[in-house]
Copies of this chain bind each other. A is one copy, B any other.
Amino acid sequence: MIASTQSNHPLGGVKNFDRIPTSLDLACARLKSAGLRITQPRIAILETLIKRDHPASIEQIHHELTSDACDLVTVYRCLAVFEELGLVRRCFFHNGTSLYEINLNDSRHYHIVCRSCGKVERIDVSITDGVERMLRERGYDQVTHMVEFFGVCPACRKKAAEADPVSTTIAR
């Protein structure tokens, strides 16, 4: 997969399939092997998701595409396909909106979302493996899960404390 039989140097090939596969290559391969077509809108959306590497709303993704790369409806449809394929993961945030992020190697990580500014940070821990195993033992199939943490980030706390030094010391 990394280099063809025609060349031992990973970057030395002249043909496309001699390159080290990029994230986009991997995503396209997954599309292809599912019998789906690799179209301009799909490439554009995947590139945006890969470049971003952070959850984004459908609206945001559409906005970040180079202008009129495709219709908003197409973004909806493509993301539904990507999610079905597992290329993309859907997360739900405190206000109920869903965000999408690229998920090429099923990396298990979570997010902490600031209640105030909406900033998303990544948390790289694995806390739910035991539960998933337990559920499988109970007879559940295709088990996945979703975890989101919400809180007020340090920056927003500081800002709030400066604006109103008294009330912000009271925790929820």
Instruction: Report A's interface with B, CB cutoff 8 A.
Output: 86, 90, 92, 96, 98, 110, 112, 114-115, 123, 125, 127-128, 130-132, 135-136, 138-154, 157, 171-172
Residue of B nearest to A154 (CB): B139
* 28 CB < 8 A contacts A-B: A86-B172, A90-B96, A92-B96, A96-B98, A110-B131, A112-B135, A114-B140, A115-B142, A123-B135, A125-B131, A127-B130, A128-B149, A136-B151, A138-B154, A139-B153, A139-B157, A140-B152, A140-B157, A141-B152, A141-B171, A142-B152, A142-B171, A142-B172, A143-B150, A145-B148, A145-B150, A146-B146, A146-B150
Copies in the complex: 2
A10 to chain B, nearest CB (A): 32
Residues of B within 8 A of A131 (CB): 110, 123, 125, 127, 149
Counting chain B CB atoms within 10 Å of each CB, the highest count among A115, A141, A144, A149 belongs to A141
